[in-house]
Structure 1
């Protein structure tokens, strides 16, 4: 049975979430339609450009992304500390980048004199917007509605462009986070449209490889790796280890190489406590989609207790993969 979004996305459990949005019917997000020969490749940049705009508005960080032909993956991190530190004016200015806002807020932004009751109303509206700035549902809505309108306008049609709602998975710990990030970054390789991570266009792994230490002005801002935890909000592993992990996994799940390369297994797998056989099962198509929650067995058990659930679909298999 479909669960309410607020039962899946809860920062009390984790700030990390894997989100997937897929086009309806035969609609193309990007790529080329094999029947008509029409190319939609330019739409990949639409997604990147919109994400860049949303990053300047929402207090939600991007850990990983992959823009495919008829769907995209995002791994997102909610930054509640940053949104709590925003002033009222900062909240209003951020939200009004995307939405016009009511007339009263427009008058406030224009510097008009407002009464006490009016200023209180503006403050209440801003607090509603503050909550939305850390809300993944609003983030995804602001992305999907924008892309759908542009695509429908280009196709001269109306109606749904996306499936009824985006899918999301809670990533309860760093094992789950890195597993999901690697899975997302390897999408083009599994789909057969790239041979190596550095050739996987419109993915976070290619951006990390290209930019390494410095972010290009046109690139998205990605959550940083920092094994020393000098940045408390960073991912507490080394970027070089992560790139090795993605490269190893990409070669190991290649259609002509069904086995795994034990001699080249990166140390990060051992540190994460993940068995290589189970890791490769998780990285194969559909492997990561078996549950709405991913994490260590003890974290999953705690999640079930907090949400008064008996079972999560796929949890048994995940417990074998991430122990």
Structure 2
């Protein structure tokens, strides 16, 4: 049975989510249709550009993404504190970058004087918009509707372009976050669309690799792509403002994992394992399995057994879905 979105997304449990949206048509979303020979490769750029544009409007950061032939993956971080700190004027300005708003909110955005009753009406509407600007469903909606309109116009047709719902997985701890990000970034390699992470088109790892090559201090958050959530290391303090790994550690991990996923490579376990695996306490075989089957193996909540039980309790869920997989692979 399909779960309500509120049972899949709870900021009290985690701010990190893996979302997947698939095309409903038989023809490719992107790439090349073998039956007609028509290329849709440029649409991958549409999606990448739209995702990176929206992260500048929403209080949502992009940790990882990969645009494939008939679907795309994105790992999102909801920055609730950022949204709550915006002024009412900033919320109105951000929302009206995407939607027209009302005559009153347009007047408010122009900083024109409002009557008390008018201001109350604007304030009430802005409160709704503030919640939407940190809502993953609205983020995905603003991505998909934009792409669907462009694709339908190009195809000179109407009707559904995407499946009705996007798939969402809550990433409850660092292990789940690292495994899911690597799974997303390595999608093109598993699909034989690229040979190495740095040549994987329309992925976050390619963008990070290109920036790292030009950086004098690649682990510094300000020398990483400003369109992506930065890596800030793993300080001994509460979850920092950024991904809790070093960029160089993560790139090393993805490169090592990618070499073992390639079917034309021997796949022997290297004695020089990335240190991040030891720090996260992840078994080598479990790691390689997760980075190939993350989406199919895990259900809506992903993390250690402790974090899974805690999240289910806060969500009021009596049955713990996916407990056996998390117990086997995340412990």
Report Cα offsets for 1:19-69 as digits up to 9, x if no partner: 000000314221111111100111111112212321221010000000001
Partner of 1:156: 156
Partner of 2:124: 124
Partner of 1:102: 102
Shift of 1:311: 3.3
Report Cα offsets for 1:154-189 as digits up to 9, x if no partner: 001111100011110000011111110000000000
Asked if 1:322 corresponds to 2:330, the answer is: yes
Shift of 1:7: 1.4
Contact 1:293 1:312 (8 Å CA) reproduced: no
Gaps spanning 5+ residues in structure 2: where? Answer: none
Partner of 1:236: 244
Contact 1:51 1:220 (8 Å CA) reproduced: no
Partner of 2:231: 225
Partner of 1:272: 280
TM-score (norm 2): 0.92
Matches within 5 A, 1:146-295: 146-212=146-212, 213=215, 221-227=227-233, 229=235, 232-257=240-265, 259-285=267-293, 289-295=297-303
Taking only aligned residues, the RMSD between alpha carbons, in angstroms, comes to 2.1
Distance between the aligned counterparts of 2:56 and 2:311, measured in 1?
31
Shift of 1:259: 4.3
Q: Secondary structure at the match of 1:180?
A: helix
Distance between the aligned counterparts of 2:17 and 2:147, measured in 1?
21
Gaps spanning 5+ residues in structure 1: where? Answer: none
Number of residue pairs aligned between Structure 1 and Structure 2: 322
Partner of 1:140: 140
Worse-superposed segment, 292-301 or 311-320 = 311-320
TM-score (norm 1): 0.94
Partner of 1:303: 311
Distance between the aligned counterparts of 2:292 and 2:241, measured in 1?
30
Distance between the aligned counterparts of 1:176 and 1:46, measured in 2?
29
